[in-house]
Amino acid sequence: MLSRLSPLAQRTISPRLLSNAQRTLVNISYPSPKIAVLELDRPPVNSLSLEMSAKIVESIKEIESNPEVQAMVLKSSNPKIFSAGLDITEMNRPTVARLEDFWRNIQTLFLTLYSTRLSTIASIDGHSPAGGCLLAMSCDYRIMSATPSYKIGLNETKLGIAAPYWLKDLFVTTIGYREAEVGLALGKLYSPKEALEIKLVDELVDSPVIDVALKRADEWASIPEKGRVASKVMLRGAMIQDLEEKREMDVGWFRDFIMEEGVQKGIEGYLKNLSKK
């Protein structure tokens, strides 16, 4: 990890030359006492490996531990990709133990981000498929760049896999039953304009997304915490409790699904096509 390198090495190595093993994977900054920015920094595409998920969770907890901080902006260090979703290589011929651990970390990431006392603003300046969309939907408010080529949605079926039941629930809660039914079946990736129309995102901006995200974070941070958190718990509590009770059942579903030979062949083929591009 970068933090293990000496201060001199950290100053002299260009960040672009660092391998992921040397990186912190996320960066935390505080533009003002009430606002934190959590930047995803796992090149090339911010995919969610076991270590990346664990690091995001650890960082949210670190930010939460400062009672002064009220809002957190989630952004990417990549100028055109928010997050490419789960690290597909984690699901490609894995060991059962690693796969199960990977999934427990993804569950924890969702539960932590979805239930944090912080107001969370997703600053989506780039592509946000599958697990990237999960991160965005777990936030309280989503702002996306209006760049027409960017895509957001749940494309799992295109890889030959299915969203877990709790991600389906989150999708339904966000965009409504019928749109979710079609979107999930087709593995649909929406343009920013389409995403705004179905309320998958709350706002589109032409200007640097982060500028508007910081403004919204200020607004959310100005709401008294007790009432704001109580209303969040009322709206989100049932879904959180449900997954807490079914975590091991969900791990079993994921493991059995992913380890099937037909699913493995599909994942392998999808990865080959991605690399060939």
**Does residue 86 carry a catalytic annotation?**
yes
Nearest residue to 81 via CA among 52, 49, 45, 47: 45
Q: Is the dihedral of CA 48, 112, 38, 165 positive or negative?
A: positive
Quick check: 19 binds ligand LRBWVUCK (CB under 6 A)? no
> Buried b vs exposed e over 243-261: b needs ≥16 C-beta within 10 Å?
beebeeebbeebbeebeee
Does residue 72 belong to the site contacting ligand LRBWVUCK (CB under 6 A)? no
With binding defined as CB under 6 A, does residue 81 bind ligand LRBWVUCK?
Answer: yes
Q: Taking CB under 6 A as the rule, does residue 40 contact ligand LRBWVUCK?
A: no
- Residue from 56, 71, 130, 136 touching ligand LRBWVUCK (CB under 6 A): that is 130
Three-state DSSP at 28 gives strand
Helix then strand then coil, in percent of the chain rounded to 5, is 55, 15, 30
Residue window 254-273: x/- pattern of binding to ligand LRBWVUCK, with contact defined by CB under 6 A? x--x----------------
* Active-site residue, selected from the candidate residues 156, 184, 189, 243: 156
H or E segment to which residue 234 belongs: helix 225-259
Examine residue 153 and tell whether it contacts ligand LRBWVUCK (CB under 6 A): no
Query: According to the binding rule CB under 6 A, does residue 140 interact with ligand LRBWVUCK?
Result: no
Candidates 26, 40, 45, 118; binder of ligand LRBWVUCK (CB under 6 A) is 45
Angstrom distance (rounded) from CA 171 to CA 159:
18
Q: State how far the Cα of 277 lies from the Cα of 269, in Å rounded to an integer.
A: 13
Active site residues: 86, 131, 155-156
Q: In the complex, which residues of this chain contact ligand LRBWVUCK (CB under 6 A)?
A: 44-45, 47, 81, 84-89, 127, 129-131, 155-156, 159, 161-164, 167, 254, 257, 274-275, 277
